[in-house]
A and B are shown apart, each in its own frame.
Chain A
């Protein structure tokens, strides 16, 4: 008996040691904070518990641009993570670096999975694919900008709290009313002026952002964000800023604080910002992204981020990444991601499942981002925006917007300068 007992103990120890050694670690660098960070931890844990061969380790690397730069620096020093989350604007940078990445589709095939395009949401997959249809990155968190409004402030100002304004002029009027009636100290704010008020503005109102299908056709792009509709829109925002009706929060999602603190009553923000808004306890409502009569609504383009796989890893690691991507695309994971975080589901099955469960009847407005993105077949203005240096062009736009909002220049000058500087930066980046 003693001998047997001993040997089983040894065997058990051996098995444990073997297991600990065999679990291949896969680093997952990401840029998620708050409620979305908790979601990442939870997904990684569930994956790690579902099998014992691989271990996904999420590592927070800062903001979206910081995460991308950390990844590039790691690649240059030959120690890249297996998976990196890259934001929409960084997609062009990653796509241009063919030797540095392995297409997500190829990774799935290496792991023995087949990639069936028809199971995924078409708008999202095509955004992250090469023109020949190869899916380059795995869409993780796709979002669409929507309108959030504070129902309490709407009621105080005598506005209809169940029907949010639909067009931009209506939104501007409502914002003025909120400010003048004293319902809130500020009427309107927006996160991500570049992503929401130029890139999605272009798609949603069916006006060009740049030449060559906004860069999807070819990397040689001339910006067109100084056409009349943009000038009209930004002049209106500049005028509201002068009166304190519009408040600027910052270049990325900082303005969310202005909404959750009750300071500003209307905000355009990513649907992925929902988690934090729910947490804050604001009595919020959701509406469609506003548009201009006679131009929109067309369709919005996916924002958020996708997961890229670096080149130069072992076959074992690629197998693990494939397993993980397969796990991520399971309906129950996708459905949860969508229902908890407000991101758009990546697979059709998850969308159908959520619809069937009656989730949208119970949570009105939650289907809005999906309907916005998939409602109409995209035109050449609304497939997306792809520049090899989009983060840099966004910075240029932000700088000019800041100069405009502080009253130094009008909208026309702002946009003309942004186009001129942006075109020079694009030309320089292409020649690199």
Chain B
């Protein structure tokens, strides 16, 4: 590779300084605080504290409810990513075929992305709350006993749908861009060879979309892990009986509701490790097999 040499010795540092400062203030500093808190035990008001070594970690890892929230997180993230990416791909291929009013449809489909997570959660809650939701009434009238307040599976379905709905727009945008990047000549050649729509999709379009799909998989997993807190907080609050308590929600609940800061910090350190491992794994093993056209 060609080496680029800057004549000015100071300017490059000045130019990267804002980014470095942001990273230090918003990442390294809080992360170091979490590391420090994770080996301490402290009362809620911070009046007295003491070093406890790895006791917080061993307490967390031997806690049955922590393993439960790990399971909940895996189910929630996988379902959210699958549902939102699947629907987005379906909509994108459909929007790609529309000849007239393409921009109009696309704009409409992008709207939900502008909705804040907590608001998205409230919207779905208003529709499906068993006490006041319109759709909850319809479901119950038709003999389906819908009760996300007590039935953990119903609650999970509700937050997955709300979280996926919000993310569809984002995925849609990328899939539309990805579809446009596929050379028309390839598809036309396949059509001349007699390949029908479905076959053309699976043998040509889908493989060529792989880079986009992979990118979205990473983004959606990170989204489901971290950005869905607002939805869970406003819709289920982690309940019923911990059925929707994800790892991130548990960090919040143990730290800010149960006021157990040491345990909460230990959990966030574990979470950091999980995310680092997950990203490294995805880039190392999955990305290699992706065919970049």
Partner-B contacts on A (CB < 8 A): 65, 69, 72-73, 75-76, 93, 96-100, 248-251, 254, 257-258, 261, 263, 389, 391-392, 395, 398-400, 402-403, 405-406, 408, 425, 428-429, 431-432
Contacts and interface: CB of A to CB of B under 8 A. Distances in A.
Main secondary structure of the interface of A (DSSP, over half): helix
Closest 4 CB pairs of A and B: A402-B240, A406-B150, A392-B258, A403-B241
Nearest to A431: B41
**Residue from B41, B239, B240 having most chain A Cβ neighbours under 10 A:** B240
A261 B131 contact: yes
B45 interface: yes
B42 to A, nearest CB: 7
A93 B259 contact: yes
Given A72-B45, A75-B45, A250-B149, A258 B131 contact: yes
Contact of B151 (A257, A399, A406, A425): A406
B256 interface: yes
B71 interface: no
Contacts of A263: 131
A99 B150 contact: no
Interface in B230-271: 237, 239-242, 253, 256-260, 262
A389 B259 contact: yes
A148 B274 CA distance: 50
B47 A97 contact: yes
A395 B257 contact: yes
B46 interface: yes
9 contacts: A75-B46, A76-B45, A93-B259, A248-B149, A249-B149, A392-B260, A395-B258, A432-B41, A432-B260
B258 A389 contact: yes
B211 interface: no
Interface of B: prevailing SS: loop
A76 B241 contact: no
* Interface size, B (range): 20 to 34
B240 A391 contact: no
A257 B44 CA distance: 34
Contacts of B241: 399-400, 402-403, 406, 408
Given A263-B131, A406-B147, 5 more contacts: A96-B43, A391-B258, A392-B258, A399-B242, A400-B241
Nearest to A405: B150
A43 to B, nearest CB: 28
Contacts of A251: 237, 239
Interface string B38-68: 0001111111000000000001000000000
A392 B250 CA distance: 13
Contacts of B147: 406
B44 to A, nearest CB: 5
Nearest to B252: A69
A72 B44 contact: yes
A50 to B, nearest CB: 33
Contacts of A93: 44, 259
